[in-house]
């Protein structure tokens, strides 16, 4: 996840110039330097997007998120700008998608049922259910199930590692919050280990190696649509594992 090619000291000078004058020229220079970050975030978000979404519009919304990040960023805080800006950029992109009302209510209802069905079958079978078992439990035709699988990607816009801006801006977390987060990480690691092999590889490449949809597809020699499908299934399985973990703590 790299920004522009300007040396580190040059970037520091850009920030100094912007903080002194808060002018458009300095802000635009910073935006130009960090523009590759917008393309990177869009490339990672693409793992959850349907084909009809206009990429240029997505990039434009991300650019405004970048400008917002530059204006709001506090250089005194112990946070890397790239980390802070990535959340703002992604948030702007997601807001743009939500404003388009791109997922019908009926589709959302069916996606929720899919998640509930997967969780119930996992609990009953003691393993990850197959597509055929999920389709049969939901009483869907082949055509309906294929349509549902296309909708699952849209439902995983907010991936399992998403962090709020408030989290990034917060002070040192409380001891109890730190303990709960560590427990969450352990549960997530165990859940990832239990994923089917291809889903586990996709999760590893996406969340740990931070590769884009296109890069993962090239590595696994699969289509981008197939990688998106594997990612969606993994996210639903992991969400179920985390939900059961949180329920056990209540």
* pTM of this structure: 0.62
Whole-number pLDDT of residue 164: 41
pLDDT at 100 over 90: no
Residue 179: the pLDDT is 65
pLDDT attached to residue 169? 46
Q: What is residue 168's predicted lDDT score, i.e. its pLDDT?
A: 44
pLDDT at 133: 94
pLDDT band at 47 (very low <50, low <70, confident <90, very high): low
pLDDT recorded at residue 66? 95
pLDDT in tens, 4-40: 545 567 788 888 888 887 888 888 889 999 999 999 8
Q: What is the mean pLDDT of the chain?
A: 79
Q: What's the pLDDT at 245?
A: 58
Distances (CA, A) of 52 to 49, 97, 150, 231: 8, 12, 12, 19
Q: What pLDDT digit, counting tens, does each position of 129-153 carry? A: 888 999 999 999 999 998 888 777 7
The answer to which of 89-98, 114-123, 180-189 has the lowest mean pLDDT is 180-189
Return the closest-CA partner of residue 231 out of 169, 132, 153, 137.
153
Query: Residue 166: its pLDDT value, please?
Result: 44
What is the number of alpha carbons within 13 Å of residue 7 lying toward its C-beta? 3
Long-range contact list for 196-200, CB < 8 A, 24+ apart?
196/128, 198/230, 199/230, 199/231, 199/233, 199/234, 199/237, 200/234
């Amino acid at each position: 996840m790299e920004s522009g090619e300007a040396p580190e000291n040059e970037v520091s000078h850009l920030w100094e110039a912007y903080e002194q004058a808060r002018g458009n020229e300095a802000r635009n220079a910073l935006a130009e330097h960090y523009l590759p970050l917008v393309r990177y975030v869009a490339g990672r978000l693409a793992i959850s997007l349907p084909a009809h979404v206009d990429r240029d519009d997505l990039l434009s919304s991300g650019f405004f998120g970048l400008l917002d990040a530059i204006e709001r960023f506090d250089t005194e805080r112990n946070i890397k700008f790239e980390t802070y800006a990535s959340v703002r950029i992604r948030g702007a992109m997601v807001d743009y998608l939500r404003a388009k009302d791109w997922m019908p209510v009926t589709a959302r209802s069916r996606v929720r049922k899919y998640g509930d069905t997967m969780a119930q079958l996992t609990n009953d079978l003691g393993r990850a259910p197959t597509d055929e078992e999920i389709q049969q439990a939901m009483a869907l035709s082949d055509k309906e199930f294929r349509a549902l699988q296309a909708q699952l990607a849209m439902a995983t816009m907010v991936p399992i590692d998403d962090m709020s801006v408030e989290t990034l801006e917060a002070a040192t977390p409380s001891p109890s919050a730190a303990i709960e987060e560590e427990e969450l990480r352990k549960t997530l690691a165990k859940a990832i280990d239990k994923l089917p092999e291809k889903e586990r590889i996709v999760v590893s490449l996406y969340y740990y190696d931070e590769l884009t949809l296109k890069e993962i597809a090239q590595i696994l020699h699969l289509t981008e649509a197939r990688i998106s499908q594997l990612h969606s299934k993994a996210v639903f399985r992991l969400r179920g594992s985390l939900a059961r973990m949180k329920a056990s703590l209540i």
